[in-house]
Amino acid sequence: MNDTEAPRWAVEALGALAHETRLAVFRNLVMAGPDGLAAGNLAEEAGVPPSTMSHHLATLERSGLVHSERESRQIFYSANFAAMRQLLEFLMQDCCRGFPDTTNKPAHSGD
């Protein structure tokens, strides 16, 4: 792998997040913390049918960004904070061509 190629896990994780519903679900799970949320609640919050939500959650789980745990008849999903941290570290590892102080500057405002 050369320096411009991303590891497979990073590509899969970013691909899983590259969908409006999955990104919103992942953000909800991050906000929910380690206890997570029930699949039905996630579907209701996202305004999608449970079968569609199952597909999205399966994609997030395959990427490693989400864990699931069955409790009786419900499945609870939670963000995998270790995987999220690994992805963020990967994205930032060679930040700013050796000038990390540039990360504190505000984004371009279009002016």
| Amino acid sitting at position 86 | Q
- Please state the pTM of the whole predicted model: 0.82
Residue 101: phi and psi, rounded to 5, are: -65, -15
- CATH number of the structural domain 8-91: 1.10.10.10
Which of 48, 47, 50, 61 has its CA nearest to residue 16? 61
pLDDT tens digits along 45-88? 999 999 999 999 999 999 999 999 999 999 999 999 999 999 99
Q: How far apart are CA 90 and CA 84, in angstroms?
A: 10
pLDDT tens digits along 8-23? 999 999 999 999 999 9
